Amino acid sequence: MSLTDPTPQARLVVRKCRVCEWQGEVIERPGETSDCPWCHGPTDLVNVVPALEVNGEKNPHAAALGRMGGAKGGQARAASLTAKRRSAIAMKAAKARWSKKRPKR
């Protein structure tokens, strides 16, 4: 399926159970029946959630905000960790790296 295909293979819908009080979002594919995940009873279609338009362009404001938070995150985490905890994290990472290099017996 391509992005320009007018007939999507799956869609997001809101369904409500006829038996119990469950109502929720379900990904619906052609030819599949959507039963209630709680009681496995039949469900009714309540609403089709509209698909988001994807034009391939990023929002520059959102990208800038993401970079700001990403730049602060690692430094803030490192500042909040104790030396003992940082050492434990480093030891665990080293053990994981070296366990891949051991020959299998």
What are the structural domain ranges in the chain? 11-48, 61-101
Start-to-end CA distance of the chain, whole Å, equals 46
Q: What pLDDT is recorded for position 67? A: 73
3-state secondary structure of 48: strand
Q: Is the pLDDT of residue 3 over 60?
A: no
Q: How confident is the model at residue 8 (pLDDT cuts 50, 70, 90)?
A: low
Q: Helix, strand or coil for residue 43?
A: strand
Angle at 103 between CA 98 and CA 105, to 5 degrees: 130
| pLDDT of 86 higher than 70 | yes
Backbone conformation region of residue 40, classed left if phi is above 0, alpha if psi is from -120 to 50, else beta? left
- Is the per-residue pLDDT at 41 higher than 70? yes
pLDDT at 1: 46
- β-partners of residue 13 are 26, 48
Residue 48: strand pairing partners: 13
**Does the pLDDT value for residue 48 go beyond 70?**
yes
33-53 mean pLDDT: 85
Statement: residue 53 has pLDDT above 60 = no
Distance CA 2, CA 8 (A): 9
pLDDT on residue 29: 85
